[in-house]
Structure 1
Amino acid sequence: QRAELLSKLNEVQASEAEMKLLYTTSKLGVGERMYQTKRVLPEPETTVPEKIRSISGANKRRHSSDSELEPQEEASSSEEEEKQEIEKSSASDFTSAEKPQEGVEKAVAHQQPAGRSVPVCQAASSKPPCKPAVFVPVDRSPEIQEARLKLPILAEEQVIMEAINENAIVIICGETGSGKTTQVPQFLYEAGYASSSGAIGITEPRRVAAVSMSQRVAKEMNLSHRVVSYQIRYEGNVSDETQIKFMTDGVLLKEIQKDFLLSKYKVIIIDEAHERSMYTDILIGLLSRIVPLRAKKGLPLKLIIMSATLRVEDFTSNNRLFSVTPPVIQVDARQFPVTVHFNKKTPLDDYSGECFRKVCKIHRMLPSGGILVFLTGQAEVHSLCRRLRKAFPFQKNNSTAGADGDKEESVEEIRKFKKSRKQKKRMALPKIDLDNYSVVPVDEGDEDRDADTDDDIAGSDIDLDLGDGDSEEDEKSDSSLPLYVLPLYSLLAPEKQAKVFRAPPAGTRLCVVATNVAETSLTIPGIKYVVDCGKVKKRFYDRLTGVSSFRVTWISQASANQRAGRAGRTEPGHCYRLYSSAVFMDFEKFSAPEITNRPVEDLILQMKALNIEKVINFPFPTPPPAEALAAAEELLIALGALKEPPMTGRLKQQLAAKLSCPISPLGRVMATFPVAPRYAKMLALSRQQDCLPYTITIVSAMTVREVFEEFDRPAVSEEEMAKLKGKKGRLLQMQKIWAGQGPMQKLGDLMVMLGAVGACEYAGCSRQFCEENGLRYKAMLEIRRLRGQLTTAVNSVCTDAGLYVDPKMKPPTEAQATYLRQIVLAGLGDHVARRVQAEELLDEKWKNAYKTALLDDPVFIHPSSVLFKQLPEFVVYQEIVETTKLYMKGVSAVEPEWIPVLLPPYCHFGKPLENPPPSYCHETGRVRCHRPSVFYRVSWELPAVEVDYPEGIDRYKYFARFLLEGKVIKKLSSYSRCLLSSPLIMLKTWSKLQPRTESLLQALVAENCDNRDALLAAWRKNPKYLLTAYRQWIPEAMHDDLAKNWPPVAL
C-alpha cells in the first residue's frame, strides 16, 4: 500500500520546471518577480503570442476551473503571477495592442505548463478599456526587502494601485510609520508612472523631510540621486534624468506659476496634508482644477493626497473642491499596541512639574525603554532637562559594568516597592478632594485608577498605570539610575538634534524632552513611553491689527493621537496623558488649518500672479475668513501690488470690486521674490544709490527671524549663570558696535542685523564666530542661502543689476542708511508708531509708550532694541509681540515729513496751500503744491510737504497757466510775451467770461492732459491738437508762423 501511495503521489507531484515558476508568499508585493525574470526558464511546449492585456478587476476572484486544475500550492501564488496568467489567456480575444511606452520595461508573462488551462475572461462592454500591464523592475537588496515587508502599507499595494489606476484623485490615510511616504512613490515607479514623458512629484511641508525622504527612497530602490532627487528653497540635485522628485510645497507652487498644467509630471503626491499648511491648501485647490484640464487634453495627471490624521470631510464633502468624491484608503500603521493612561486630575498650571514627576516614576518603576516628553517651548524643555539630570545624574566616565543588572529590577522587587509606597500613603491622614470623584460610571473610569493590586503581572509590562500622586523620592538624586536626557526643538542646532537618533550610552535610559516638532516631523527610535502634557505653544495673529502673540493652548484630539503613536514603534508602548479623559473629550477633533489663523497677503499676491482675480471664489479646502481676505487686499492695494478698484456703481458692486482687484506691474515684480509682500516692496524700491545688496541682507534677516541667541534662560548652577551673563554682555557690546553712529544708528535694529550678517560673512560664517558673538549659527546659514536666492531673483528681474553675494560687503554710507530708512518705511507703512507726548499722558501705563494706528493699547519698544533708550518720535516696526506688554521688534526711526511723501494711501490730505503757491516740476512734468495731512485713523498731524496737485479742474487750470507761460514746452516761451491775456486769468473766478480760457481748458480736459506726458501722447495721436485753442491767445499775425512750427516739440 505504501508503494502504491507513493506512485500515486508521484503522478500528481509538480514538476521541477513548474516549481521554478512559484515563489514564497513572503515576497508578496515586493517586486520579487524581477528575480524570477532573471532566471533561465525552460522552453514551454506551446507558445503563446506576447500580447499583454489586463482587465480591471479580473483578478479579484478566482474561477472554479482554477481550483480544480491547479495544485494546492498555486492557490497561494502571488497576485502578480495570477494577473499575468489571466492576461495571457485573454490576449487572444483582442486583435490590437497599445504600443508600450518607451523606456519602460515590461514583465514577461510566465508560460503555463502543458495540460493546464485557464478560462477566458469575457470583457463586458461597460468595463474600461484595457491597458498593457507595465512593470519596471527594481534591484533592491535583501535587507531592504526584508525591512519593507514590515511596513503595513505593503499589504495594501494592490488596493492602492487599483484605486490610482481607476481614479484621477485618491486620498490615502495612514498614521505615521505606515510607510506611505517612502513606498507609494515606489509603487508608482514600478507601475510605470515615472518615464521619459513625465515624473512623479512629491511635496513635503518641510525642507528636512524633502531631503531625507529622497535619500531614503534612492537607497531603497538602489538608484542614483540623479533619478531620485530633491528640490528645496535653497538647493537641489534635480537633473534631466530625474523621475522621482521630492520638493517643498512652495517649490511646486512656483512651478505652477511658470507651467500651470505641470506638463513635466504624471503624478503629484501631496504628503503630510494633515498639517494643513497654507501652501498645501493652495496646491490642493489648484490641482483640483489642473487635473480635469489635463484630462481634457488627453494628458491625465494623477493626484494623491496622503495624510496621517486627515479631516476627510474637508475633501470628500467639499463639492467646490472635488465635484466627484475621491476614494479614501485607510492604512493601519501602528505595529504594536499603545496603552493610553489618563490622569484623574488635570494640572492647569504646573504641567511641567507633573511631567517631571511622571518621568521619575517611569524611570524608577518600569522596564527599559525610551521616554519621550512633550512640552510647549524651549524654556520649558531646558528647565525639565535640568531637573531630570539633577535627579538622575549621568556621568560619561562612569563604568557601565553591571549597569544592566542594577537597572533591570525583577517583577517581585517592583511589586514590593509599590506595596510599600501604598502603605506609606495609607499611614498619612487622607486629604479629601471632592473634585477627584468622577461622575463617570465605574466601568468607564478604569483607565483613571491606580492599579496597585496583587494580580498576576508576569505576562504583561507589570503595572504601568502609575497614578497621579506625588512621591517624596522624585526630587532625590539617584546616580544608580542614570538617565540620558536630551532636548529637542526646532531652533536647536542640527548636530544636537541628531543626538536623539543615536543609541544612548550603555547602562542608561534615553529621555527626550521635546516640543511638538517630535509629533510628526521626526521619528525617534526606541521610544516606549510617551508623556503628553496636552499643551502646545502657538503663534496667534490678529487679522485686523497684525499683532502676534504666543499662547499655550490645548492640543487637538488628532494631535494627542499622533503623540501617542510615537510609542510602540518597536514594541508595545504606553502613553501617559497628564489630563483626564473628560478634558480629552473636550478637545477639538482637529487643529485649525494654518490658513485660517495667519495673514494671507502673500498667498493672495501669488494667486493674483496666477491671474486668479476673484480669490474669494477659489476652491479652498478650508476657506480663510472673509475679513482676512479683505484686509489682505487692502494692504496689497496700499503697497501698489494691486490696482485700485473703481469707486463707481452701487455699494454692492464696489464691495465686490475690492475683492477682485487685478494685479499691477509692480505686483508682478513683487510676486517673483520669495518673501512677504512688504519685504518684496522694499526690494522693488532699492535700485537707487546702490542699496540693493543692503536691502537683500536686511530682508533676509527679517525673514529668517531669531538671529540672536537667547541668554535669559535660568541657569542650573552659578557657574552656568556667570557664563550666560558673560555671553549676554558680549552680545550687547557687539550690538552697539553693529548699530553704528549718527544716521546709521537711526536705522536701529535693522542696522544691527545688517552689521551682524556682514561681520559673520566677513569671518567666513564660522560656527566659532557665531558662538563667541551670540549669533545663531543655523539662522546665519539660512540667511546666507536666502541672500543668494534673492540675489538671483533680483538679477532675473533687473538684468543689468549685476548683483552678487559679496562676503566682504562694506557698511552703508550715511546717505545710504538714510535711504534704507525710507525704503523700510515704504514697505512697512501700516507699521508706523508715534511716541505719546507728555500732554497726552492719561495714565502711568502710557509712560514711554507709543501709539499705533491699529491698536488702542500702548505699545513699547522691546528692551533688546538699540533704540530702547532713545525713544524717537516716529518709528516703524517689523512686528508686535504680546507678552506681559505689547512690544515692538525690529524698530527703526523715521522722519514725519517722509510719511505723506512715501505713504500717500495712509494719509488724509488737506487743501493745497496758497503760500507757497503751486509750481511746475520740470523733472516729472507735473503740477506740484504743498498740502498738510494727517495719518489715517489716528489723525496725527504731519508737516506740510510738496506733493502732486490733487485731481480736479484746478489742476487743469494750473497746467494751462504753466503751458501759456512757456514752462511746460520751452518753444512756447517765445510767444509768452505776445499773449493777448495774462495766463493768471486761468485761475480767476471770472475766467469763464473769457472765451479763450474756456476753449483751452475744454481742450485739455477732453484729452485728460494735466501733465507733460499726457500732452506729448496727445500730440503723437493728433499733431494739430491745441493749435486752434492756442491761436486765440496770440495775435492773428503770428498764426501762420505758429502753424508751421506746430506741434512745438519733436515727436
Structure 2
Amino acid sequence: QVGYQIRFESTRSPATKIVFLTEGLLLRQVQREPTLPGYQVLIADEVHERHLHSDFLLGVLRRLLPARPDLKLVLMSATINIRLFSRYFGDVPVLQVPGRIFPITVIYQPIPKEEASTVGKAGKPERLDPLPYLRVLQAIDHKYPPEERGDLLVFLSGVAEIGAVLEAAQAYAAQTQRWIVLPLHSTLSVAEQDKVFDVPPPGVRKCILSTNIAETSVTIDGVRFVLDSGKVKEMSYDPQGKLQRLQEFWISRASAEQRKGRAGRTGPGVCYRLYAESDYDAFSPYPVPEIQRVALDSLVLQLKSMGLGDPRTFPFLEPPPSSSLETAVRYLRDQGALDDAEELTPIGNLLAQLPVDVVVGKMLVLGALFGLAEPTLTVAATLSVQSPFLRSSQPNPDCATARRPLESPHGDPLTLLNIFNEWVQVKSERSGSSRKWCRRRGLEEHRLYEAANLRRQFQELLRDHRLLEEASNQTSDSYSRQSRHRERRELHRLWRSHTETEGRKRKVLRLQDGADNSSGEDNDGGGGGNHGKGERGIDIQDVKFKLRHNVEELQAVSSSSLSSSRLAVLKLLLCRGLYPQLAVPDHLNTGRKDSDQIFHTKTKQGVVLHPTSVFATSPQLLHAKEGPERGGSKDSVEGLSCHHQLLAFVSLLETNKPYLVNCVRVPALQ
C-alpha cells in the first residue's frame, strides 16, 4: 500500500495508497494527465531548496488547483520563507509544527586572516589550509572522552577542498587512532558513499567530509558534531556565453540552520562555524532559487509541450531573469524545436518527451533516421548520466593504462561508447567480474547501470514515436524458452531473497577504511566492498540488470563494430546535434605544452580541454591529419584542412578555468 517511484524503478501497484516520487516524475505525469486524477493529496517536501523542477511544479499546481478544488496540496519545510509561499497560493493557512530537535551549542571560530585561502600566481586561489579543521578534531578529542559516542560531519564547498582536508585529517587519524575519515560527494563510487552509514568501532569516531549533499539529501545517524565552512559551490548560467559556471559562494542563513540541525538529531549537539557571527548576520536569508541561475532550455520546452502558453507570462514563484528566458526561446528556435511563432515543431514535440538536453535529443532522432540508432542510443545515454570516471585525490596510473585501449581517437562520446560496449561484453561473458573490470579501469559501474536503464527508456520512446521498429520476437525452440524461463525464475527468487533478508546491513568500519578511501576503489573483501551483494556473494545489481534488460540483445548490438563510413556518419550526426557548439584551436597551439592548449568558441575566447577528455591526455590527436574516413582514395578528403581540427562539444563549464566538456573532433573545411 506504500510504494515509491524513481526514474527507473517502481514498487507502485493498483493497491498503492501512498507513493513517494520525485518532482520530475510528477511533472512527466502532468504532461500525460493534466488534472492528475490519480491523486487526492499532494505533499511537496523540502520546498525551501528551490530546485528548478520544484519551482516549476508549484507553478503548474497553482494553475491546476482551481480546476481540482478537491485536490489538497501540502508544502513542507523546516526553513521556508512562509510569507512568500503563503501569498503565492492566495494567503493559505500555515501550520507550524514544533520540531523535536535536541539543543545545539553554536561555537563561532572564524579563520584568522593569515590562514584564509589566499590568491596565488595567475590569480588562482591556493590550496585550502586544513589547520582550522584539524583544530576542531583536536578540540573534540580534548573535551569529549572517546567512549562518548558522536561523529563529526564537516561541510566543505567542493571536491578539491575535501581532498585538502582529507589528507591532513587522515594523517591526524593515523597518529591518534581515534578517527575514521570518510569523504562524501557525488563523484565517489556508490560503495564509498555507502561507508558513511556504517558504524565505527568502540572508542573511534567518524569524520565525514561532505559537500552540501549532506545538508538535506542524506541523513547520517550518529552525528553529534557539525563543522560548517560556510561555503557552497553552485552552478550558475551565463546566457550570453552559453556557459555553466561552478562558483564558490557564502551560504544563506537558511542553509546554515539546516547544517546546524544535523548535529541535534539523536541528542544534544555542537555546531562549529568557521566564520564570525557578524558574517552569519550578513548572509542572505534564503538561497538563490535554481531557476534564477541555470539554463532554461528544457524548462521552456516542457512548458510549451504542456500547453501552458508563453513562458514569459507563466506565474513562477519568483520569475527567472528575462535574459535567460529569451536565450532559451532563441536557442530552441535555432535548434528547430520552436517555429517563428514560438510554437512547438514536430521535432520539438518529440524532444519535449525525451528526458535529456536538446542537443542529445537531436542526436537520438537523427541516429534513428539515419539507421544508426543503436550506437546513438548508447552515446546519448552515457552523455546523460554522470561521468563514469572516478575522481580521486591521487590518480592511479594503472587505471589510466587499463583504460587506454578503450579510448577513441575521435573523442569522448565515442570513448564512452567503447566503454559501455566492452562492459556489456564483460557482463554477458562473465557477469561476476564486471565490478572488478570497472574497478581496474577507474570506472563507477553504477553509472553504467544508469546508462543502460536510460538507453532502454530512450529506445522505448523512439519506438512509441515509430522512429524505431519493435524488437522482432524471434521464435526460439522450446528448450531455449524453458531455459530462459528457469533463469528468470531464479533471478526473481534471488531478488525476493535480497529484499526480504538483506536490504542494506550496516557494517562495522575498520580504522584502515578511512586510510585508503580516496582511491575511489572498493575491495571485494571487507569494508564497504560488499555493498549490494546478497546471498553467496551474488551481485544484486547484476540480478536487477538481467531482470530489466534483454542481455542477449544488448550483447549483440554492443559487439557489432562500426565500419569507417558508418563511423564518419555517426560523427556527422553527433556534430549536427551539437551544432553550433564548435571550438577552433588557437593558431599558436603547436608551440604550447599539451596541458596549455587553447581553443575559442563563438561566444568564449581562451577555453581549455577538460582534464577527463581523451584529447587532454593525447593532444597529438588534434595535430594529426584526418585520414580518409570513407574508405576511399585521397580524393575523398579533398577540401578538408590538414592544418587543424574543429571540436564539437557537449557543454562549456567554468570552474577555475573555462573547460570544453565531452568533445568530438571533426576536420575543418579549407
2:107 corresponds, among 337, 341, 354, to 341
Q: Which has the larger radius of gyration?
A: 1
Deviations 1:305-355 (A, max 9, x none): 11221122332334xxx3x21112122224311111112555531453311
| CA positional deviation for 1:848 | 4.3
CA distance in 2, matches of 1:853, 1:798: 36
The answer to whether the 8 Å contact 2:608/2:657 transfers is yes
Secondary structure of 1:565's partner? helix
| CA positional deviation for 1:639 | 1.0
The aligned residue for residue 80 of structure 2 is 310
Query: Aligned ranges for residues 280-679 of structure 1 at < 5 Å?
Result: 280-295=54-69, 300-318=70-88, 322=89, 324-345=90-111, 348-349=116-117, 350=128, 352-367=130-145, 368=148, 369-393=150-174, 477-479=175-177, 482-645=178-341, 661-679=342-360
Aligned-pair identity (%):
32
The aligned residue for residue 654 of structure 2 is 882
| Number of residue pairs the alignment of both structures matches | 544
1:849 aligns with 2:598: yes
The answer to whether the 8 Å contact 1:539/1:550 transfers is yes
The answer to whether the 8 Å contact 1:352/1:533 transfers is no
| CA positional deviation for 1:637 | 0.6
Query: Aligned ranges for residues 120-159 of structure 1 at < 5 Å?
Result: none
The aligned residue for residue 381 of structure 2 is 700
CA distance in 2, matches of 1:767, 1:846: 32
CA distance in 2, matches of 1:796, 1:289: 29
The answer to whether the 8 Å contact 1:836/1:846 transfers is no
The aligned residue for residue 862 of structure 1 is 610
The aligned residue for residue 554 of structure 2 is 806
Secondary structure of 1:307's partner? coil
1:759 aligns with 2:422: yes
| CA positional deviation for 1:281 | 0.8
1:891 aligns with 2:650: no
CA distance in 2, matches of 1:819, 1:797: 23
- After superposing the two structures, state which structure 1 stretch, 754-763 or 373-382, moved more: 373-382
The answer to whether the 8 Å contact 1:600/1:629 transfers is yes
Tell me, which stretches of 5 or more residues in structure 2 are unaligned? 118-127, 472-549, 623-643
Deviations 1:268-315 (A, max 9, x none): 1111211111111111101101111122xxxx1111111221122332
| CA positional deviation for 1:846 | 13
Instruction: Give the aligned residue type for 1:762.
Output: Q
CA distance in 2, matches of 1:696, 1:266: 38
The aligned residue for residue 440 of structure 2 is 772
The aligned residue for residue 47 of structure 2 is 273
The aligned residue for residue 683 of structure 1 is 364
1:781 aligns with 2:549: no
CA distance in 2, matches of 1:257, 1:344: 49
CA distance in 2, matches of 1:878, 1:896: 18
CA distance in 1, matches of 2:27, 2:323: 25
2:570 corresponds, among 791, 803, 820, to 820
Instruction: Compute the TM-score of the two structures, normalised by the length of structure 1.
Output: 0.50
Instruction: Compute the TM-score of the two structures, normalised by the length of structure 2.
Output: 0.77
User: Do the aligned partners of residues 688 and 287 (structure 1) sit closer, same or farther apart at CA in structure 2, a change above 3 Å counting?
Assistant: closer
2:19 corresponds, among 240, 245, 253, to 245
The answer to whether the 8 Å contact 2:300/2:329 transfers is yes
Secondary structure of 1:690's partner? coil
| CA positional deviation for 1:383 | 3.9
| CA positional deviation for 1:598 | 0.6
The answer to whether the 8 Å contact 2:51/2:289 transfers is yes
- After superposing the two structures, state which structure 1 stretch, 820-829 or 799-808, moved more: 799-808
Tell me, which stretches of 5 or more residues in structure 1 are unaligned? 1-226, 394-476, 646-660, 715-720, 740-744, 898-942, 944-1051
CA distance in 2, matches of 1:499, 1:835: 44
Instruction: Give the aligned residue type for 1:784.
Output: A
Give the RMSD, CA atoms, in angstroms: 2.5
- After superposing the two structures, state which structure 1 stretch, 750-759 or 489-498, moved more: 489-498
Instruction: Give the aligned residue type for 1:791.
Output: Q
CA distance in 1, matches of 2:606, 2:590: 11
The answer to whether the 8 Å contact 2:130/2:168 transfers is no
| CA positional deviation for 1:890 | 0.9
CA distance in 2, matches of 1:725, 1:842: 27
The answer to whether the 8 Å contact 1:841/1:847 transfers is no
Query: Aligned ranges for residues 92-171 of structure 1 at < 5 Å?
Result: none
User: Do the aligned partners of residues 252 and 754 (structure 1) sit closer, same or farther apart at CA in structure 2, a change above 3 Å counting?
Assistant: same
The answer to whether the 8 Å contact 1:359/1:531 transfers is no
Higher relative contact order (CA 8 A, sep 6+): 2
CA distance in 2, matches of 1:627, 1:328: 34
CA distance in 1, matches of 2:567, 2:261: 53
CA distance in 2, matches of 1:507, 1:870: 55
CA distance in 2, matches of 1:847, 1:258: 49
The aligned residue for residue 505 of structure 2 is none
| CA positional deviation for 1:789 | 1.3
1:729 aligns with 2:510: no
CA distance in 2, matches of 1:767, 1:784: 15
CA distance in 2, matches of 1:634, 1:875: 23
The aligned residue for residue 494 of structure 2 is none
Deviations 1:243-290 (A, max 9, x none): 111111111111101110001111111112111111111111011011
The answer to whether the 8 Å contact 2:243/2:654 transfers is yes
Deviations 1:439-483 (A, max 9, x none): xxxxxxxxxxxxxxxxxxxxxxxxxxxxxxxxxxxxxx334xx21
Secondary structure of 2:555's partner? coil
Instruction: Give the aligned residue type for 1:490.
Output: S
CA distance in 1, matches of 2:593, 2:390: 33
| CA positional deviation for 1:844 | 12
The answer to whether the 8 Å contact 1:334/1:565 transfers is no
User: Do the aligned partners of residues 493 and 874 (structure 1) sit closer, same or farther apart at CA in structure 2, a change above 3 Å counting?
Assistant: closer
